[in-house]
Amino acid sequence: MPTHCTCGAELPPDARFCHKCGKPQYDTAPHAEEEEPLPQPAAAEPVRQETKPLEINFHNPLAVRTAFLTALITSVISSLPIPPQGLWLLVSLLLAGFLAVFLYTRRTGQPLSMVSGARMGWITGIFSFAIATIFFTLSVVMLSNKGGFVELFRQQLQGHTGGSDAEIQQFLQLLQNPAGLTTVLLLVLAMLFVLFTVFPTLGGALGAKMLERRRA
């Protein structure tokens, strides 16, 4: 820093201007332009991933529990002595499929298509058939031990068929043969399987369709 101005005046320390002539003694360093901060990128909002509804199958634990509970309820309802007994069984199986769809939709809030409703009814029918098979097997064992299994079929055949006595006797002799008895029982179980799966499936599809119209 100069100690004297060009005009000859002695300058005090750190003098920016000459007190005599007013001449500036050094250039003021320009202020560094403050850099504007770069705009911070806006925080990306978390992408909301919509949960995909679970398919109706045996890998869906809620569907399995709902179907099993409905099958237990149906087994009680179908055993009620409401005439005609055969027709009431079919109605109760239809209601089983409808009830399973209603309970599942109520608990999840997930609307079911007719295909999903049919699957829900089919699972319910599988459990209903399993429960019916257990009771049927126990009944067969109890009647066989008491010797009344053949007599039970005799009463059923005489009351519901128009076959002759010779045909009924021939069929009852078939039941006394272990191989023939096994064949008859397998045929009965096959008929029960079709009955206990088809009607709940129809009830489930019908229930899904009716609930869809109600929401619309």
Whether omega before 84 lies within 30 degrees of 0, making that bond cis, reads yes
Query: Does the pLDDT at position 152 exceed 80?
Result: no
Q: Looking up tokens 């027709």, which residue turns up?
A: 87
What's the pLDDT at 30? Answer: 46
Sign, CA torsion 156/161/165/169: negative
Burial 80-99 (b: 16+ CB within 10 A, else e): eeeeeeeebbbebbbbbbbb
What's the pLDDT at 140? Answer: 73
Question: Helix 149-160 and helix 114-146: axis angle, to 10°?
Answer: 120
What's the pLDDT at 172? Answer: 64
As a residue count, the chain comes to 216
Question: Tens digits of per-residue pLDDT, 57-77?
Answer: 999 999 999 999 999 999 998
User: In whole angstroms, what is the distance from residue 154 CA to residue 133 CA?
Assistant: 22
Chain centre distance of CA 156: 41
Report which of 122, 123, 156, 127 is spatially closest to residue 139, judged by C-alpha positions: 156
The three-class DSSP label of residue 61 is helix
Question: Tens digits of per-residue pLDDT, 8-37?
Answer: 667 777 777 776 776 776 665 444 455 566
Structural domain boundaries in the chain:
61-215
Sign, CA torsion 121/127/133/139: negative
